[in-house]
Structure 1
């Protein structure tokens, strides 16, 4: 009886080891948007914005979603990225790659952005 119990524990241990190997050993796609340094010639997402008298130009790479802090956006250059921005009113707007859009009169106030 004791021997059967040891075999069952051994089999369970082996099954857990195989599951852990499959879980941690198989690479999966990374979905982590990165705030990166704006570099000329790169095709990053580039967003020109302002808030409370401050101006900002921010670049992003890689798929994922991040908070944008409610800044007013003056211009978006998508580069090679498909973008969805979520404005402060709860609307979402998709902009396909290779677009350069300016908002001279009514800039959107952006809550978050997502690179697809």
Structure 2
């Protein structure tokens, strides 16, 4: 009986040591990834109205922290909801827009390469 107890204790010790080593070796980073989500009323998602050069238009919503490509579409309006945003335009500029902002671009819409929720 004593040898079985020792084996169980030894196995538990090895498992704890392995878990600790794995935790130390693995890089720590954000577990967040930006998601393209269904636009729903009452939600506080990032919402972007845009159009392409060939006349197509789109309304897209995003949630969660991260960065993603936006395909060089022209942005007509942005509603940030509860998200802080940086958009990267085709000219290489980056523009930060704070949460709870609703902005339109009626005369000179930016051509957006990437968006990032902070």
- The TM-score range, normalised by the shorter chain, is 0.7 to 0.9
Q: TM-score, normalised by structure 2?
A: 0.79
What's the counterpart of residue 6 of structure 1? none
Instruction: Tell me by how many angstroms 1:49 deviates.
Output: 0.1
What does 1:35-114 correspond to in 2, within 5 Å? 35-51=36-52, 52-114=54-116
Instruction: Tell me by how many angstroms 1:31 deviates.
Output: 2.2
Instruction: Tell me by how many angstroms 1:22 deviates.
Output: 4.9
Instruction: Tell me by how many angstroms 1:16 deviates.
Output: 7.1
Instruction: Tell me by how many angstroms 1:29 deviates.
Output: 3.9
What does 1:9-48 correspond to in 2, within 5 Å? 17=18, 18-22=20-24, 29-48=30-49
- Give structure 1 stretches of 5+ with no counterpart: 1-12
Instruction: Tell me by how many angstroms 1:19 deviates.
Output: 1.2
Instruction: Tell me by how many angstroms 1:21 deviates.
Output: 4.5
Which ranges of 4 or more aligned residues in structure 1 deviate by more than 2 Å?
A: 13-16, 21-24
Matched pairs, number: 102
Q: TM-score, normalised by structure 1?
A: 0.80
